[in-house]
Amino acid sequence: MADGLNLSRRLRRTPYTDRAEAAGVRGFSVVNHMLLPKAYGRSVEEDYWHLRAHVQIWDVACQRQVEIAGPDAARLVQWMTPRAIGRARVGDCLYLPITDETGGLINDPVLLKLAEDRFWLSIADSDLLLFAKGLALGAGFDVTIREPDVAPLAVQGPKAEALLAGLFGAHVRDIGFFRFGWIEFAGTRQLIARSGYSRQGGFEIYLEGGQLGGALWDAIWQAGQGFRIAPGCPNLIERIEGGLLSYGNEMTRDNNPLEIGLGRFCALDGSVDYLGRAALQRIAADGVARQIRGVLFDGGPGPVCAAPWPVMAAGRRIGQVTSAAWSPRLRRNVGLSLIERGFWEPGQPVTVESRDGACRPGEISALPFA
């Protein structure tokens, strides 16, 4: 699962890396030029069961914020996304695709509306700041764009609410899904959202001021002792079962939001103007040629899916698996895959050619997995 990672300043440490190391982190990924803890010495399966039952603390500081502020901020954000943002309220979190003029996906951040003229885009793994800056400089928008010193720390799992309400106050319970509020911590006001990269519930604290990172981790860790808290990270099994997509894995610039299942976030009726509109309207009119699906397949736990695995049917390649894991709950492998039109029905038999050379029989599944 893990090869060696050679460290350097370029792979930035986070305000929580010291704590992750003290907690025994054994493997990282790299997202937005920053370390993302991905393994703590327990198996992905052990973490999976723990996440579903208790509560975990995740260093997701790599979810960098692109702050867009100023008179043209809302205009610039809307220009980048097919999702209509006009009705968003301050305090809303909006998951949204960002596309270029071809409809190709640049990123799929969560937008936090801080004020009518101030937004954070909490980004996946691409330098969205550079795209936004380029657009703003090219078109002469009156905005300032920067990466603030904000480091999200996720608290995920069914016990997250009880833990955080005890630590920061009962008002945390009133924060709706994909809404954010505020907590007091160490004399500062900090943003907290009911969100996170799992289906088990929880919150993300957008800590402003990296020097507070250790203290915040410690406070949550201590308060979590009664809840069997453990250090964790986005769990591959849980996110695949839950149908949570990952930019760079399930989607790249070669994909459009319609084929990736993000059509519900795309205004195609002409009511909103944005970069990719003409392209997406054309794609919608033609009908997408491929679409994201689940695949259930046999053969026991497989190797890591580190490059797309061919999905075969009717004697030819009809798609690819881009993330896969053994589901201990379903007792089969689960995968996220992009599948050619004509093979989308749940139950469609396929074969997955995993990297170990095995041809694994399976079938198409709806998402999320049952």
Binding of residue 90 to its own copies (CB under 8 A): no
Binding of residue 210 to its own copies (CB under 8 A): no
SS3 at position 171? helix
Q: How far is the CB of 105 from its own copies (least distance, A)?
A: 12
Binding of residue 285 to its own copies (CB under 8 A): no
Binding of residue 29 to its own copies (CB under 8 A): yes
> Is 285 or 306 the residue whose CB approaches its own copies more closely?
306
Secondary structure letter of residue 98 according to DSSP: E
N residues, the chain: 370
Binding of residue 219 to its own copies (CB under 8 A): no
SS3 at position 205? strand
Q: How far is the CB of 84 from its own copies (least distance, A)?
A: 20
One symbol per residue from 244 to 273: x for binding its own copies (CB under 8 A), - otherwise; what is it? --xxxx------------------------
Distance CA 320, CA 255 (A): 13
Binding of residue 316 to its own copies (CB under 8 A): no
- Both tokens of 80, joined, read 């980048």
Distance CA 97, CA 359 (A): 34
Binding of residue 30 to its own copies (CB under 8 A): yes
Binding of residue 136 to its own copies (CB under 8 A): yes
Binding of residue 125 to its own copies (CB under 8 A): yes
Q: By CB under 8 A, which span of 25-33, 47-55, 111-119, 215-223 interacts with its own copies?
A: 25-33
- Please say whether the beta carbons of 65 and 121 come within 8 A: yes
Q: Which of 61, 68, 220, 275 binds its own copies (CB under 8 A)?
A: 275
Binding of residue 279 to its own copies (CB under 8 A): no
- Both tokens of 165, joined, read 């309400």
- Both tokens of 207, joined, read 């800590």
Q: Which of 22, 90, 130, 289 binds its own copies (CB under 8 A)?
A: 130
> Is 168 or 197 the residue whose CB approaches its own copies more closely?
197
- Both tokens of 57, joined, read 């603390």
Binding of residue 7 to its own copies (CB under 8 A): yes
Binding of residue 131 to its own copies (CB under 8 A): yes
> Is 135 or 167 the residue whose CB approaches its own copies more closely?
135
Pairing label, strands 332-340, 290-297: antiparallel
CA angle 93, 27, 326 (to 5 degrees): 75
DSSP 264-312: GG---SSSS--TTHHHHHHHHHH--SEEEEEEEE-SSS-----SPEEEE
Backbone angles phi, psi at 229, to 5 degrees: -65, 145
Q: Which residues bind its own copies (CB under 8 A)?
A: 1-13, 25-30, 33, 38-39, 100-101, 106, 125-128, 130-141, 246-249, 275, 304-308, 322-323
